[in-house]
Structure 1
């Protein structure tokens, strides 16, 4: 996706952004932002065919309307940084109030909103093409770190079923983040990553110290395979193993152990050997010999 500087947002007069309100609210629009999606994706009845040039212009103009707050924020930022207000006003705050009817708070939100949009444009996810269309969708994100902004926005779009989320949805996810740090595990790990399990409690406590292989990273949890079962754990339960050799070898070891465990009448000695192998990330020569002997004994070789 193009960087923010490469995207051309078309002009909307800054004065039109105020509407005599310090900050825009969701009720100020007759269109629910949760249903605001690119016209190409909407299922609508075609009443009159547009030419290619007309379709292009429509998309350009719609983008200008949807991202008006972005352009306003970029313009205000440049006015402030270059001090282009100083010929008529002593302060930027007084200039914004007299020229556009903006309070200092509203101006700050617009400038911060433009920064957030540029940050979101750097996402590399299935939702990276879906960007905010209203200032109220941006406000909850302004105080977050860039990575948190991307994670929260991605989760908000997912919650809105792939559409532009409302400010209420974004705010709700930010509130969850404040209550408990949000770690979206699709950013934390990938399928096939290997870990040591730690801090498990209850009936899963016995797996502390065992190796695990990521099967399915979800938003707040990760499904992992251990030597005899599949578990759903939290990021706090995973201590990542960075060795490429371990990452390459463990899936093969898991396959061999799982195949032996499927034997209906597994001997107690064999069971104990397999339990022990579930706690070691690599096989010693003796362990490799024991595993090979068990495979031969149970006719897998």
Structure 2
């Protein structure tokens, strides 16, 4: 009787009886046990010269907005734009691509930066690095700005504070020292330009309060409306009848001034915008009526 064929034995390798897996199998099937060797790279310390260069370049970055503000101040004050442009705003827009307010923000920031450098006692090495960080400080008097900046640095744990942190500190100080806004609609006030670049050329002008805000008033002048902080306003304390009369005069000047006029005529109207009395003289009244007649804006009363 024939015996059934014998099954062949399975071939086995010497490695099959070894508990150690091949290197590639160990990495693929057991990634948790894989070991990666990283060679340490030594980072050389800065030399003394490199440290000085770094500090110098950092200071240039920090002061970039300050230098821009100082340069714009000189360009404006010396009217170095006059050979190509009629106004400073037009020059800044076409030369640098600035909006109307941007150069004034930089100019004001340079003034604030100088004030912080001069008066800050603590954390004097922590200074603003851009205009946006210190813009909220423009709402405070110069003698309070250093205190506000130091508080903001402290809130930022000794680092350069953000715009939001500075704004919060300024808001708390304003609430603490808030003076009630007692101005009323229709009241006649004088503009005190002081160190506010946005009011340049408006110092001594009178205006009519058209809106009362928490910390400012919107004031109508002969050439438009301006939002002015309380410290930049001074009431003339006119009687109600005098305020109404000045409102009429303001409206009359505005109607004429909006037209395209010769420079001499504009200067005359601007002089009326700086009157410190609640009436026009007979000659002023006569000139204004002539201008109203010429430009078809005479008021019928």
Q: TM-score range by the shorter chain?
A: 0.3 to 0.5
TM-score (norm 2): 0.44
Q: Which has the larger radius of gyration?
A: 2
